[in-house]
Amino acid sequence: MDTGTTPEQAPELTLDDVRAAAERIAGQVVRTPCMHSQTLSNIVGTDVWLKFENLQFTAAYKERGALNALLLMDKAQRERGVIAASAGNHSQGLSYHGRRLGVPVTIVMPKTTPMVKVMQTEQVGGNVVLEGETFDEAYAHARQLEQELGLTFVHPFDEPNVAAGQGTVALEMLEDCGEIDTLVVPIGGGGLMSGMGTAARALKPDIELVGVQAKLYPSMYDRLTGKDLPCGGDTLAEGIAVKKPGDFTGRIIEKLVDEILLVDEPSLEKAVALLLQIEKTVVEGAGAAGLAAVLAQPERFSGRKLGLVLCGGNIDTRLLANVLLRDLARSGRIARLRITLQDRPGALYKVMREFQAHNVNILEIYHQRIFTDLPAKGLVTDIECEARDREQLDQLVAALREVGYNVSQVELN
């Protein structure tokens, strides 16, 4: 087809690139399901389909781009081996497929990387080198080893072959769920969105493309809007915590994407918890970012047919447990009530009778006499408890106040 473009204007990534990647990687990555979610559709008031990329072997879509890049290398490059700087899903995807294909894979991570991430990468075949205190220092070292050892550097996002591989997610979604008219896609460096956007816009020109970033790392958002919001902090969505987005991906995203939304930490936590409760599926923070954006402003998506990518499932189990408990706390099903008492026999017993009368289960009691700012004869007791719902909890609090107790609830953010 003659598109009328001059060579300078020729698109940097095309549907054909993505289709070729799909053919190349077929049978070597999981053809993950894309399914309609009845319950989430009811909750957000519009149709929602989920693409379960957390079901890949290394639990993230990153395998697609890494594998496509590996398969496009010549024999000499494959024999010498590849290198990347990453402590995340890219390192696991590259290591796993490198080992399968007999390509040596070196991954440089900062010395501060949690041991569990080092082990996960080593388990799937990567040779991990710990260097530098920060990601930037690890990255610089990887580029130095690339030169010294003649390895091929595989960028986690800012490379056409990688982005083309990631774009295959969109091909599968539109093939399996043709009704989708809006894609909501997490953006870190932009590899997933640039690949998916390229394929989806070419197949369905009217499709709406919505990117999502963590509010703490709005780097691509800044690039698109010309703003200068700061990047930094501890986000649950470390997979999309990228301070400097790609140049190649940035150019594509600028052209294709309709809007980038920013999500806060409570929304990310809520989305992770909901996906586990409703879909019985484990996602990491970045994998829940799309749902978080929709939950935060459902009216923005009203009447649309939404495709969300659950792009990764690598979350530490202790962190997941905390996220779930915090979600119960936010919904009023567990709570910590702080009650001021007089230090005399039976005082705690009387309070507990109120809990019993309201059928609220006590989980823990922290009785504090010394580290309080109350007079010596007073004490503060913190009671962690479990209620059926917020209404039951509120009734207990009201009853305690009615009989004269000073009660406050220890809140989460």
Ligand X SMILES: Cc1ncc(COP(=O)(O)O)c(C=O)c1O
CB of 410 to ligand X, least distance (A): 32
167 lies in the binding site for ligand X (CB under 6 A):
no
206-209 long-range contacts (CB < 8 A, ≥24 apart) are 206/181, 207/180, 207/181, 207/182, 207/183, 208/181, 208/182, 208/183, 208/258, 208/304, 209/182, 209/183, 209/185, 209/256, 209/257, 209/258
Tell me whether residue 88 or residue 98 sits nearer to ligand X (CB atom).
88
Give min distance, CB of 242 to ligand X, in A. 6
Contact characters 270-309, ligand X, x per CB under 6 A? --------------x-xx----------------------
Q: How far apart are CA 106 and CA 94, in angstroms?
A: 9
Of 147, 143, 148, 122, the C-alpha closest to 131 is: 143
Nearest CA among 89, 85, 96 for reference residue 122: 96
Nearest-CB residue for ligand X = 312
- Residue nearer to ligand X on the CB measure, 81 or 239: 239
Which of 188, 197, 218, 307 is close enough to bind ligand X by CB under 6 A?
A: 188
Nearer to ligand X, 104 or 285 (CB): 285
Among 73, 83, 84, 88, binds ligand X (CB under 6 A): 88
| Number of residues located near ligand X, criterion CB under 6 A | 24
Taking CB under 6 A as the criterion, which residues in 189-218 touch ligand X? Answer: 189-193
Q: Cβ closer to ligand X: 311 or 334?
A: 311
Burial 186-224 (b: 16+ CB within 10 A, else e): bbbbbbbbbbbbbbbbbbeeebbbbbbbbbbbbbbbbbb
Give the residue with the Cβ less far from ligand X, 91 or 381. 91
Which is nearer to ligand X, 104 or 239 (by Cβ)?
239
Asked if residue 240 binds ligand X (CB under 6 A), the reply is: yes
**Contact with ligand X (CB under 6 A): which of 239, 250, 290, 307?**
239
CB of 292 to ligand X, least distance (A): 12
Q: Which residue has the tokens 């693409």?
A: 51
Residue (of 252, 262, 247, 248) closest to 297 by Cα position: 262
Of 165, 249, 176, 174, the C-alpha closest to 204 is 174
Binding site for ligand X (CB under 6 A): 60, 62, 88-90, 156-157, 166, 186-193, 239-240, 242, 284, 286-287, 311-312
